[in-house]
Amino acid sequence: MKKRGDKDHEVIIKRRSKKGHDDAHGGAWKVAFADFTLAMMALFMVLWIVQPQNDNTVQAQAEMLTNPLVDGGAGVFDGTSRTPLDLDGMPVTVSREVDPANDADQPQDSKPANGPDGKTRYGTPAEMQELAELMEALAEEVDALANIEVQVVPQGLRVLIKDDQQRFMFQRGSAVLTPHFQRLLVGLSGVLAKVDNKLIISGHTDATQYRQQAGYNNWNLSGDRALRARNVMVDGGLPASGILQVAAQADVMPLRPDEPENGANRRIEILLLTSKAEMLYRELFGEGYAQAHYSQSGTEFVAPPAPEQAAQPAPEAL
Tell me the C-alpha distance between 33 and 146, whole Å. 89
| pLDDT recorded at residue 153 | 93
Identify the weakest region by mean pLDDT among 71-75, 199-203, 289-293. Answer: 71-75
Higher pLDDT, 48 or 107: 48
Q: Which residues pair with 195 in a beta bridge?
A: 120
pTM as predicted: 0.57
The mean per-residue pLDDT over the stretch 213-235 comes to 92
Domains of the chain: 34-85 (no CATH), 121-273 (3.30.1330.60)
| Mean pLDDT score of the chain | 76
Higher pLDDT, 78 or 23: 23
The mean per-residue pLDDT over the stretch 24-35 comes to 76
In b/e form, how buried is each residue of 166-183, taking b as 16+ CB within 10 angstroms? Answer: eeebbeeeebebeebbbb
pLDDT tens-digit map of 58-73: 555 555 544 444 444 4
Q: At what angle do helices 218-235 and 179-192 cross, to 10 degrees?
A: 60
Q: Report the share of the chain in percent with pLDDT over 70.
A: 63
The mean per-residue pLDDT over the stretch 161-176 comes to 91
| pLDDT recorded at residue 48 | 85
| pLDDT recorded at residue 199 | 95
pLDDT tens-digit map of 293-306: 677 777 776 666 66
| pLDDT recorded at residue 288 | 58
| pLDDT recorded at residue 172 | 87
Amino acid at 161: I
Q: What is the dihedral of CA 97, 98, 102, 106, to 10 degrees?
A: 150
Tell me the C-alpha distance between 310 and 288, whole Å. 7
Tell me the C-alpha distance between 73 and 77, whole Å. 8
Helix (H) or strand (E) segment spanning residue 197: none
Most confident of 42-46, 54-58, 300-304: 42-46
pLDDT tens-digit map of 118-149: 788 998 999 999 999 999 999 999 999 999 99
pLDDT exceeds cutoff 90 at 195: yes
| pLDDT recorded at residue 56 | 55
